[in-house]
Amino acid sequence: MIPRTRILSLVAVAACCLAGAGPANAAFEVKDEGKFFSADAAGKANQRIKEIKEQTGNDLLIETFAEIPADRKKDYKPERKDEFFARWARENARQRKVAGVYVLVCRDPAHLQIDRVTAGRAFPPADRGKLRDLLIARFKEKKFDEGLAEAVSFVAGRFKDNSDVCDDGGFFSADTMRKALAGIAEMRQRYGKDLVVETFKEIPAERKKDYKADDRNRFFEAWAKDRLKALSVDGIYVLVCREPPHLQVIVGDEARKKAFTAEDRKQLAELLLKLFRVRKYDEGLLEAVKLVEARLKANVGEKGSE
């Protein structure tokens, strides 16, 4: 067991982005070489992590080690512990093609490292800090199984809340949602831009007082801009309201310069309106993802390709 005075004494969190896309079966599971967790706890965590992947398109990979692998020991210096573990976690996340969150736990020397390999919107720095604090607290108490379960639950909740497709309006099937989320996650890795789609059954209560039927375009544009800012969307945001019926497409300032132009925005809005008007909602969402991917590819190319 890890001594209480040493466990997770130094925790550093490093963010990195992948160049290129991960495969469809990117790593998502618990690999417990360090023997922290019971088989039952690891099995339940693995099942939940697979559900996270299906529902949000994001990975969670947790790896534990009894010690530093032999091929890395030569690079380890206690006085540069943080730097060593940050690099080790980053390289592991890249090699395993994790598109989400990677957690590395080492028993000797005691250390925990979290590497966020995803766009900031899906799991921002504040979430990383909360995950770190949660794991530290449970591991100090030697409640490893509880820490694992709570960490997986926390990540699942954050990925869901920050999902690229939030269908409160009930337009899309579950299968279409999974396909769209996977496509958007891959697109973000390739081109470094977001596509976020939110649907609503109606105008939220706090906004209804500002709605006027004769000025609906201004109202929905302002609402969409507020959502783009609130969600920190670096790319394209689509708002769909069921009652009153309306669709609004907004593009962030930076993306509009080159990645997704005014003409691209017009094409996307026209595509969605055409299919939504005949109630082909699933087809509309999937075709929208394809259109955005095609325009990003043509306009900016894959990250690191220039």
Domains of the chain and any CATH numbers: 11-160 (3.10.310.50), 165-299 (3.10.310.50)
Q: Is the pTM of this model over 0.75?
A: no
Q: Is the pLDDT of residue 39 over 50?
A: yes
pLDDT in tens, 245-257: 999 999 999 999 9
CA–CA separation, 119 and 107 (whole Å): 29
Identify the residue with better confidence: 275 or 94.
275
CA distance 10 to 82: 7
Cβ(142)–Cβ(1) below 8 Å: yes
pLDDT at 120: 55
Confidence of residue 188 (pLDDT cuts 50, 70, 90): confident
- Burial profile 154-176: b = 16 or more Cβ within 10 angstroms, e = fewer: ebbebbeebbbbbbebebbeeeb
185 CA to centre of own chain? 7
Question: 141-159, pLDDT tens digit by residue?
Answer: 999 999 999 999 999 999 8
Rounded to an integer, the average pLDDT of 260-288 is 98
Residue type at 217 in one-letter notation: N
Q: How far apart are CA 21 and CA 18, in angstroms?
A: 7
For 170-181, what is the mean pLDDT?
88
The pLDDT value given to residue 4: 39
The CA-atom distances, in angstroms, between 207 and each of 27, 52, 100, 226 are 41, 32, 33, 11
- For the chain, the straight-line distance linking the first and the last C-alpha, in angstroms and rounded, comes to 48
**12-21, 97-106, 128-137, 229-238: segment of lowest average pLDDT:** 12-21
Query: What pLDDT was estimated at residue 43?
Result: 96
Of 135, 63, 125, nearest in space to 92 by CA? 63
70-111 pLDDT, tens digit each: 999 999 999 999 999 999 999 999 999 888 899 999 999 999
Q: Look up residue 195 and give its amino acid.
A: L
Determine the pLDDT at residue 27.
Answer: 53
pLDDT (0 to 100) of residue 256: 95
The confidence score (pLDDT) of residue 105 equals 97
Q: What pLDDT sits at residue 118? A: 59
Q: How far is Cα 288 from Cα 149, in angstroms, rounded to an integer?
A: 36
Give the sheet arrangement for strand 246-251, strand by strand: 165-167, 194-202, 235-243, 246-251
